[in-house]
Amino acid sequence: MSGRVCPVDVILAVDAGSSSVRCTAFQVSGRAGSVSAEGDGGLVRKMEGHSIKLEALAPTTGRIKIDNVLDAVDECVDETLRRVRRLTTGETTRVVSIGMTTFCMNLVGVDHAGEPVGESATLSYACNSERVSQECLFLKQCLGEDRLATLHRRTGTNLHGSYAMPQLMAHYKDESDYRVSDKIHRWQTISSLVLHRWSGNQRIQMP
């Protein structure tokens, strides 16, 4: 009687950056020990990967070319898994975990179906528009020096136009954005949006 063949367990690491998207697959060895990306001595072993170069952000506005980013993520994952299956011919491959990183401060407006409203309903750290700068100044005037100092002590950062609050204020005050804003049901990060598309769960929230 032949023994039972164990599946090849794989962890996928996805990085959606502003200039490229990449996916790397790691095989889980099943042995306790330190995590290492090289060799057979650790808990995981690097197998295959794929990357795509792209310009994810529009200049000045920092708008996210969200359709391009999502397509690149899917393509990188598909190609990485294709290469993994080529390595493990005759064996069952099982994705047991997925980790994802993205560029800092990104928000995507989605409709009731969880689909992106469009590039005009996106925010990112790369925004450098005059409208957002004005909102940032308005917030500083409203808070005053004492509360700004408290905010800095609590967060370690100064109020800046690259953060979500002044960008959201500018977005909802701009009359040209009203049609877009009416379509937005909620804001999600790129990572939570990707996991929603894969799992069907619209309530996923993660940084």
- pTM for the whole thing? 0.83
Per residue in 1-30, pLDDT (tens digit) is 455 567 889 999 999 999 999 999 999 976
The mean pLDDT of the chain is: 87
> CA nearest 5: which of 89, 96, 97?
89
Of residues 119 and 178, more confidently modeled? 119
Say which range, 31-35, 54-58, 71-75, 202-206, has the weakest mean pLDDT. Answer: 31-35
Q: What's the whole-number mean pLDDT along residues 116-145?
A: 94
In this model, does residue 40 exceed pLDDT 60?
Answer: no
- Please list the alpha-helical segments (H only) found in 88-129: none
Q: Which pLDDT score, from 0 to 100, does residue 185 have? A: 93
Structure-block tokens of residue 158: 């100064």
Is the pLDDT score of 68 beyond 60? yes
pLDDT confidence band for 55 (50 / 70 / 90): very high
Q: Which residues, at least 6 apart from 48, have a Cβ–Cβ distance to it below 8 Å?
A: 24, 25, 80, 83, 84, 87
CB 29 within 8 A of CB 21: no
Q: Check residues 178 and 63 and name the one with the higher pLDDT.
A: 63
The pLDDT value given to residue 36: 46
C-beta of residue 61 within 8 angstroms of C-beta of residue 161: no
Look at residue 120 in the predicted model and tell me its pLDDT.
93
